[in-house]
Amino acid sequence: MSSQRDQLVCNARDCFKKIEDVAWITFCSHVFCAQHGKEIKLQQIGSRSCPACGSHFRDDLSIVERKLNRSMQYRALLLCGYCPETIMEIANNGITFWNFQKQQVCLNLERKVEYYRETVTRLKKDLAQDKSEAASKIHRLEQQLELVQSKLNEANEEKAALRATSGEHARNHHQVKKRRNI
Ligand SMILES: [Zn+2]
Ligand SMILES: [Zn+2]
């Protein structure tokens, strides 16, 4: 098993599948998984283009299939027969391609970080607004509560005063009645 550091991921939008065995490599330095590579190959030669950057694929060499898990024996002879300049050129192209792919991974992660950061900021702002709306609603309700409470107090005072007046009235009436009876 290879680690994530030495693995490629498919450049097709929303795929990002880890490429384990077969890679489809393009002249514009993009790489696709077996499924997306085959989809490109199924298109007519003249109308093929890179799903990642839109570059037009002029011929069959614009996108090539590369088996990544070749045996040591196969690899041992892979560059044999070429002169050192050609070997260096091939190696240089391979390293440039690899660096470009790693840069793409970093860019993609940076975009994700930016997206999550923006979402968190927006949600915090919404939460602060919701909080301030809730606070002003609570304030309005407290004012209404205070108003209704003071009206209730007034009504209770009035009721108590009324009860006191009617009690006194009844007592007076009783005393008058008593006096008359003497
Ligand atoms: Zn893919
Ligand atoms: Zn491309």
pLDDT at 6: 81
pLDDT value of residue 182: 61
Q: How far is the CA of 25 from the centre of ligand 2 (A)?
A: 9
Torsion of CA 13, 17, 19, 23, to 10 degrees: -30
How far, in Å, from the CA of 51 to the mean position of ligand 2?
7
Cα distance between residue 57 and residue 45, in whole Å: 8
* Residue 109 included in any domain: no
The ligand placed nearest to the CA atom of residue 36 is: 1
Answer yes or no: is 131 within a domain. Answer: no
43 lies in some domain: yes
56: β partners = 49
Residue 46 has a pLDDT of 81
User: What's the CATH code of the domain at 58?
Assistant: 3.30.40
Residue 153 domain-assigned (yes or no): no
Q: How far is the CA of 64 from the centre of ligand 2 (A)?
A: 13
In a domain, 147, yes or no: no
Ligand with the closest atom to the CA of 32: 1
pLDDT less than 70: residues of the chain: 1-4, 181-182
Residue/partner pairs of 62-67 with CB below 8 Å, 24 or more apart = 62/26, 62/27, 63/24, 63/25, 63/26, 63/27, 63/32, 63/37, 64/24, 64/25, 65/22, 65/23, 65/24, 65/37, 66/22, 66/23, 66/24, 66/25, 67/21, 67/22
Express each pLDDT in 104-129 by its tens digit: 888 888 999 999 999 999 999 999 99
Distance 134 CA to ligand 1 centre (A): 47
Residue 44 lies in a domain: yes
CA-based Rg of the chain, rounded to a whole angstrom?
42
Ligand 1 centroid–CA 21 distance in Å is: 13
How much distance in Å is there from the Cα of 165 to the middle of ligand 2? 97
Counting ligands in written order, the one closest to the CA of 14 is 1
Number of domains making up the chain: 1
Q: Which ligand gives the minimal distance to the CA of 38?
A: 1
Q: What is the pLDDT of residues 163-179, one digit of tens each?
A: 888 777 777 777 777 77
Is residue 56 assigned to a domain?
yes
**What is the distance in A from the centroid of ligand 2 to the CA of 80?**
30
- Name the residue range of residue 33's domain: 1-69
Residue 125 covered by a domain? no
> What does the pLDDT read at residue 172?
77
